[in-house]
Amino acid sequence: MDHIERVRRAIQHREPDRVPTGEWLIDKELMVRLLGKNILEGDHFYDTVEVTKLLDLDLKGVDCTFESSPYKKSLGKSKSGVEIYKDGFGVVYEDSEVGTLTSGVLESPIKKPEEVYEYKFPPIDYYETNVKEIGRWVKETDFFIGAGVWGGLTLLCPLTGFENYMRWSITHPKELEYLIRKYTKYNAEVAKKYIDAGAHVILVQDDLAYDKGPFLSPDFYKKIYIPCLKDEISIIKKYIKENNKDSVVFFHSNGNINWILQDLVELGIDGLKPLESAAGMDIGLVKKKYGDKLCLMGNVDTRYTLPRGTPQEVEKEVKKIIKEAAYGGGLIICSADILQAGFPIENVLSIYRAVKKYGTYPIKKAV
């Protein structure tokens, strides 16, 4: 069975030949160690394909669609020697000193609530480089290809600053709702371009919570965030249907999202990731409650098991996930976030070895 068919069967809650695997992002520093060569400079398409094949993944997200912006203007170096840049939204970032996937916000373009009405997003054709990269993955590989867009929180916060976003959710909800609604509709338009480029799955991303619960008031989520997210997903799903595409829509949030799971299911999403176990997300319980409605993508622990555990502990955890959530299809194995720079190579490889060892169907429902 090929990669695309394997993933598609899982999403349709049918049993493929084995449990499919996938990753959205793999830190380039980890890729350097996996391949034994420097790929941090230049076009790393073929190197990323090589890593995807090495891990025998079925689903792979296109890296550039998960960045803050397709356009970055260098502003020089910080005192510690890392890159400072401004993206196409006017946010000034400082690159991380650890890994290649996390940057810190130095300056936000929207400083006052009333400025949301004057702020202009970049034109949609600004994403044409991402569209071409998606097309390249679709045409030159046989993987199930994912592309990321954003909900109204995680990458909207850099435009206002996280503290302002939190403060305005209470003091200026009208202005913040205006910005969220504008941003989510903007991302729906970006998603259309990615679908036309051939993306098999659109991942709408946001981190809504930390380990104990929501970042913001549950009332804010219910009254403002969820209605905007619903409109975004509805626009994307309508476009898929009207244009006879077979793309699907997944949603991503780290943290403990048990408190909002029902609302997310009612949005009509096809899948949910990464069900972060360290934050209290029990994939077995989610499978029992929503397994007929959602394809679950997760959830090998990225806080202890992958960075500090042993290959044997990784294997044991993968076996447990398969036992609890693979029956009847509807499961894609991946890390509970991303494959980070410092993960031991043997631990990473153990994920996919364990899937081959324990993930062949038929798989019985856990008692």
Cβ count within 10 A of residue 292: 10
Rounded to whole angstroms, the Cα distance separating 220 from 226 reads: 9
pTM over 0.75, yes/no: yes
At a CB cut-off of 8 Å and minimum separation 6, what does 139 contact?
198
Residue type at position 240: I
Phi and psi (nearest 5°) for 304? -120, -55
pLDDT in tens, the chain (367 residues): 999 999 999 999 999 999 999 999 999 899 999 998 887 665 689 999 999 999 999 999 999 888 878 888 999 998 888 889 999 999 999 987 665 456 789 999 999 999 999 999 999 999 999 999 999 999 999 999 999 999 999 999 999 999 999 999 999 999 999 999 999 999 999 999 999 999 999 999 999 999 999 999 999 999 999 999 999 999 999 999 999 999 999 999 999 999 999 999 999 999 999 999 999 999 999 999 999 999 999 999 999 999 999 999 999 999 999 999 999 999 999 999 999 999 999 999 999 999 999 999 999 887 6
Phi/psi of residue 251, nearest 5 degrees = -125, 140
CATH of 3-71+110-358, one of 2.10.260.10, 3.20.20.210, 2.30.30.240, 3.75.10.10: 3.20.20.210
* Sheet with strand 103-107: strands edge to edge: 72-77, 83-87, 92-95, 103-107
